[in-house]
Amino acid sequence: MNEKSTFRLVLGISVFVLIAVIILNRKVLPVPDPLPGFVYSLPTLNAFLNGSCTILLILSLMAIKKRNIELHKKINILTFILSSLFLVSYIAYHWMAQETHFPEGNPMRGLYLSILISHIILAALVLPMVLMSFYYGLKMDIVKHRRLVRFTFPIWLYVTASGVVVYLMISPFYPVR
């Protein structure tokens, strides 16, 4: 597969995921009634997956700084798998569960919303960057990989870490089940 075809595939996947998240957040599709019991455990799983990815991204950086390319590659593949599981879990939760809102009178609401909004925007932007970074890395096109990862890494790290922060801030307001 050439670079142009790969870019089109990455763009297609990124647009598909974005549209899926938007549609499922709008509750357009039917929701199971009653909800499966596991649904309410998904936010905790998501925070665990995000936190794990944060740690793995830091370990990946340490591995490549030590020029351990094989370890770097293995860690990144694991991080990609966990991020993919997160995405599936996130979509499932937001499809089935009611949205939880941060209380309007809470003095932390502004901080929460600023972290949440930056997290959402950067999460949407980082997906195609991660996919192209993987493409270049697996192809061993080191020049293009490095050039893109300079931007991809800090954004992906922020998205995974801020996902945990968002969870910790909103979790006290989840409905009791």
Mean pLDDT check: name the lowest of 70-74, 96-100, 160-164.
96-100
Identify the residue with better confidence: 7 or 113.
113
Identify the residue with better confidence: 155 or 13.
155
What tokens were used for 44? 């905790």
CB 83 within 8 A of CB 157: no
- What is the pLDDT averaged over residues 132-136? 93
Using the structure block, give the residue that is written with the tokens 């499922």.
24
> Which pLDDT belongs to residue 105?
93
Mean pLDDT check: name the lowest of 17-31, 81-95, 96-110.
17-31
SS3 labels along 15-42: HHHHHHHHHHHCCCCCCCCCCCHHHHHH
pLDDT in tens, 9-53: 888 988 888 888 777 766 666 777 787 889 899 999 999 999 999
Using omega within 30 degrees of 0 as the cis cutoff, is the peptide bond preceding 34 cis?
yes
pLDDT above 90: residue 5: no
Rounded to whole angstroms, the Cα distance separating 39 from 21 reads 16
pLDDT above 80: residue 131: yes
pTM (predicted TM-score): 0.88
> Which pLDDT belongs to residue 27?
65
State percent of the chain over pLDDT 70: 96
> What rounded mean pLDDT belongs to the chain?
91
Domains and CATH numbers, the chain: 38-173 (1.20.120.80)
**Closest to 56 (Cα-Cα) out of 83, 33, 37:** 83
pLDDT above 70: residue 99: yes
Q: In 10 A of CB 157, how many CB atoms? A: 17
> Which pLDDT belongs to residue 30?
72
Residues 6+ apart with CB under 8 A from 75: 56, 59, 60, 63
